Amino acid sequence: MCRQFIVSGKVQGVFFRASTRDVANSLNICGDAVNMPDGTVRVRACGSEESIQQLVAWLHQGPPMAAVSGVEEAAAVCTAPDRFTTGRAS
């Protein structure tokens, strides 16, 4: 199962990507978390349905310094790497 999420709110500069990577790795999820130019974070995640649902629940809260105001979800094509990475949109 692969899904894409756009997380909005105070999600850049608060260790959101690194924390997402740590949570995803603990759930055996592959994909990435990328800072977008509009201040959101795009998360692509591939893994079991149960693991993805656990990640979704975490994305709605994020790390302690974050203030998540919304999480948009959509289907995604499974083109994720074999691990979870972080980066910035170009």
Query: Which among 40, 37, 35 has a CA at the least distance from the CA of 85?
Result: 35
Domain that holds residue 76: 2-82
pTM score:
0.88
Confidence (pLDDT) at 90 = 53
φ, ψ dihedrals at 16, nearest 5°: -65, -45
Residue 89 lies in a domain: no
Number of domains composing the chain: 1
pLDDT of residue 3 exceeding 70, the answer is yes
Q: Summarize pLDDT for 32-62 with one digit per residue, the tens.
A: 999 999 999 999 999 999 999 999 999 999 9
CATH of the domain at 74: 3.30.70.100
> Under DSSP, is residue 17 helix (H, G, I), strand (E, B) or coil?
helix
Residue 34 lies in a domain: yes
Residue 20 lies in a domain: yes
Active site residues: 17, 35
